[in-house]
Amino acid sequence: MNKNIFLSVIIIIFAVVFYHSTTDAQVTPPLPTTGNGIPFKPLVSQRAQSTTILFGGKIQDTIATQVRNYESAGYDCEVPGSTIEIRPIKSSFTSYFIPLGTYSLTKYSVNQGQSILGISENTQNINCERCDEKGENCTEINFTLPIIIKFGNSRV
């Protein structure tokens, strides 16, 4: 019970300190509005869409379940980074993608059994492929995982 309260308080503090909402991508129309005698429309300002999610829990595995399942079935999965499986507080397991160059804010390496808090945003497409012995008749499977953009994990 105390661990759940502690993790909830840490998530709230983490959210207040590190949370950032969607950003505005301001696109400036080119000037002048005609070039070489060819008229063109100025671009309209757009709001960049992103899905920012705060998460927390225990690291159950250092490889996502989907990746492990496909690789054990003979598929080769192309993962441009690493994946983890997390058991969130009062929820089922969730897989995440950690891009190359994204490191823990607490400077601890990611290991099974650690507590973790973080921010995920958007998704990463993961491709898995399995070919027969001759290298023909390949089957490709694609799935997406949420991308971790910031995280901190416990020492143990």
At residue 42, the pLDDT reads: 46
Quick check: 79 pLDDT over 70? Answer: yes
In whole angstroms, give the CA distance from residue 12 to residue 15. Answer: 5
**Between 32 and 66, whose confidence is greater?**
66
Instruction: With cut-offs at 50, 70 and 90, classify the pLDDT of residue 91.
Output: confident
pLDDT score, position 20: 46
- What is the average per-residue pLDDT within 123-134? 91
How high does pLDDT run on average in the chain?
Answer: 80
Q: Higher pLDDT residue, 97 or 10?
A: 97
Residue listed under structure tokens 């509005």: 33
Asked whether residue 149 carries a pLDDT value surpassing 50, the answer given is yes
Provide mean pLDDT across the span 54-65: 94
User: Mean of the pLDDT values across residues 89-108?
Assistant: 91
CB proximity list for 139: less than 8 A, separation 6 or greater: 75, 129, 130, 131
In eight-state DSSP terms, residue 135 is S
